[in-house]
Structure 1
């Protein structure tokens, strides 16, 4: 049985099989979660990302897709990089955000990862509203948990506001009131 949990903390300090990285499409590092993972994980992650770019991702990783690399110096085996969508008030991009979680967890299952640390994808500089992001993330995580491939899916959240929004006890149905 999979447990969906949440902690307030630093995703780079999680002792798990796989860490999901809210990456940018270049895969070459950036700010926020992406920058922290690249800094703490060391040059091995960047080298693996460069290899992916040279092999088959020359144009970068498309939004909503995911790819795995070594975790370098992180206390995990793999980093699964995914590119979240920028929030828009004029276009519904929620399917892309859900795809980030689905694809990341599909890859984690293929790798045999039993424990996975996940960030609040797209809620930083991409401005996705926390309550809506949490609803989408929790729904996708519950669907992946039903596969039985995982023992724990752990949301690692940077501040109290995000921690409250990502309460696994919150409903995630599309017509449910937003979490938070």
Structure 2
């Protein structure tokens, strides 16, 4: 499995699936979540509403999959990252689960290429360096990677881009 780090807007990336740093409602919000819903269009929101109707909200650390609507990807995997607050091992474990559950959904849906944003590092205030280490380590140690050809970490800001690049190059 190849790991890539780029600085870009995840809504422009052509892969099988992009991951959305969603909120528990799945109905769109700020940051990457809002951008994905705006650019992907009504199809994504409608698919999220159907998921909510059958299972309710998406819990922190869990993931669900929908169409990508008007985005260049085929799917959007929505995962809910933890809000940092005072942090701790529980928050680190929940962030790790976001990556694991997203990768499991990717395998279940025969996804070969997947792009992740920097989950929880915006409004949820997860420390960027710690989040980068958890993301890269979790993806590298994922037990079923053979089916996924490429994982791209898409960093919107320069700070995350430099952190991810440094860790991936180690």
Q: Please, what TM-score do these two structures have when normalized by structure 1?
A: 0.90
Show structure 1 runs of 5+ residues with no match: 171-180
Instruction: Report the equivalent of 1:16.
Output: 15
- Cα RMSD (Å) of the superposition? 1.2
Q: Does 1:88 align with 2:85?
A: yes
Q: Which runs of 4+ in 1 moved over 3 A?
A: none
Of 41, 55, 59, the residue aligned with 1:62 is 59
Q: Matched residues in 2 for 1:21 and 1:134: separation?
A: 16
Q: Which residue is 1:177 aligned to?
A: none
Higher helix fraction (1 or 2): 2
Q: Which residue of 2 aligns with 1:104?
A: 102
Deviation at 1:159, TM superposition (A): 1.3
1:118 equivalent in structure 2: 116
How far residue 144 of structure 1 moved from its aligned partner, in angstroms, is: 2.7
2:130 maps to: 132
- Residues paired across the two proteins, number: 167
Could you tell me how far apart the structure 2 residues matched to 1:72 and 1:146 are?
28
Q: Distance in 2 between matches of 1:41 and 1:12?
A: 8
Q: 1:69 and 1:123 mapped to 2: Cα distance?
A: 23
Indicate which of 133, 138, 159 corresponds to 1:161: 159
> Per-residue deviation at 1:62?
0.3
Query: Aligned partners of 2:30, 2:118: CA distance in 1, in Å?
Result: 14
> Matched residue of 2:122: which SS?
coil
State the distance in 2 between where 1:135 and 1:19 align: 20
Alpha-carbon distance in structure 1 between the residues aligned to 2:67 and 2:37: 11
> What does residue 76 of structure 2 align with?
79
> Is the partner of 1:6 in helix, strand or coil?
strand
